[in-house]
Amino acid sequence: MHNKQFEFLKSSYHLSSDIQEILGFINNELPPAAPVAELLFKAKIIVTELLTNSLKHAGVNSTIINVKISEHDLSIIKIDFGNPLSLIQKNYPVNTKIPISNDILHTLYAILDSGKNIHFFCDEINMEDILAVENIVEHFGLLIITKAADKFTYHYNEQTKENLFEITIKF
């Protein structure tokens, strides 16, 4: 397994070069049989959204991205100590499928468990969902990550204020 941690300071964010640094590591460490072009594309959109999220919403001075590459999957973990996702701050019922965003083809859902964890998944949109579009809050970046990943979870630790986003892509 190959693992590397990257730290990004808000004062020196240069998204393009930061993303290229992570993609370079991934490209150099992927196993020979891995679908390199597909994985680099998915990693690029995921990391772009994670870093953009930190800049726009977390209210933090630094963000950590951990990249882990095994023989069969790529994991990208984002850690910051800032504002939680708005979904955590609302009183949604535990273990209920909550629609949070959509595009013309899919609806992004979140399921919150009792431990401040959110599991994201997409379903193809149906006609009933289209009629309720005005009730869905916009979290398009989370939809993008969910569609690119095989697994996408979020955890918020109230004591430490840690936001932990964990993405896995299988190959």
In tens, the pLDDT along 54-104 reads 877 777 788 999 999 999 999 999 999 988 887 777 778 889 888 888 777
31: left (phi over 0), alpha (psi -120 to 50) or beta: beta
Q: What is the pLDDT of residue 103?
A: 74
Q: Is 35 helix (H, G, I), strand (E, B) or coil?
A: coil
Which residues lie below 8 Å from residue 26, measured CB to CB, with a gap of 6+? 39, 40, 43, 67, 69, 74
C-alpha–C-alpha distance, residues 131 and 108, integer Å: 15
C-alpha–C-alpha distance, residues 50 and 76, integer Å: 10
Question: What's the first-to-final CA gap in the chain, in angstroms?
Answer: 14
Tokens of 129: 């969902």
Query: What are the φ/ψ torsions at residue 154 (nearest 5 degrees)?
Result: -135, 140
In the chain, which residues have pLDDT < 50? Answer: 133, 135-137
Q: What is the pLDDT of residue 136?
A: 47
Portion of the chain with pLDDT greater than 70, in percent: 90
How many Cα atoms occupy the beta-carbon half-sphere of 59 within 13 Å? 6
Q: What is the pLDDT of residue 64?
A: 96
| DSSP state string for 102-133 | E-SSEEEEEEE-TTSEEEEEEEE--HHHHHTG
C-alpha–C-alpha distance, residues 16 and 47, integer Å: 10
Runs of H (alpha helix) within the chain: 15-29, 36-53, 86-89, 127-131, 140-148
The angle formed by the CA atoms of residues 53, 132 and 163, to the nearest 5 degrees, is: 20
C-alpha–C-alpha distance, residues 63 and 143, integer Å: 21
Domain annotation for the chain: domains and CATH numbers: 2-79+161-170 (3.30.565.10)
